[in-house]
């Protein structure tokens, strides 16, 4: 189970709506202008736009992003593994973690 407090989505999916939204606008404009309505062309354009936008959105959601101005802090877990945490103030983070550990250990 993951804790949502530490979740970094990287990007939302809403940019995928831009292509279909603009295609719908173009379709309505064509219909209101009185000329021929190219439904197939607008549908293909919307689909291509969704696929084109989905690639970078998906990539941003899968890559781990680290905010600028942070430095890595190696953390040794109870099971012996070492992981990297990120902090703008590593010394303060380290001190707070040690204090919390001592409080838990010595009650």
Sign of CA dihedral 92, 94, 96, 98: negative
- CA-CA distances (angstroms) from residue 47 to 26, 29, 102, 103? 14, 19, 56, 56
Query: pLDDT per residue over 27-77, tens digit each?
Result: 999 999 998 999 999 999 999 999 999 998 888 877 756 666 788 888 888
Q: Torsion angle, CA of 56/25/48/45, rounded to 10 degrees?
A: -160
More reliable by pLDDT, 70 or 7:
70
Give the distance, in angstroms, between the CA of residue 95 and the centroid of all CA atoms in the same chain.
30
- By the 8 A CB rule, do 74 and 82 touch? yes
């Amino acid at each position: 189970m993951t804790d949502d407090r530490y979740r970094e989505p990287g990007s939302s999916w809403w940019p995928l709506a831009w292509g279909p939204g603009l295609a719908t606008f173009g379709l309505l404009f064509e219909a209101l202008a009185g000329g021929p309505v190219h439904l197939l062309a607008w549908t293909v354009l919307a689909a291509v736009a969704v696929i084109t936008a989905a690639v970078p959105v998906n990539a941003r959601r899968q890559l781990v992003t680290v905010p600028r101005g942070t430095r890595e802090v190696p953390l040794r877990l109870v099971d012996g593994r070492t992981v990297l945490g990120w902090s703008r103030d590593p010394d303060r983070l380290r001190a707070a973690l040690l204090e919390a550990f001592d409080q838990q250990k010595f009650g």
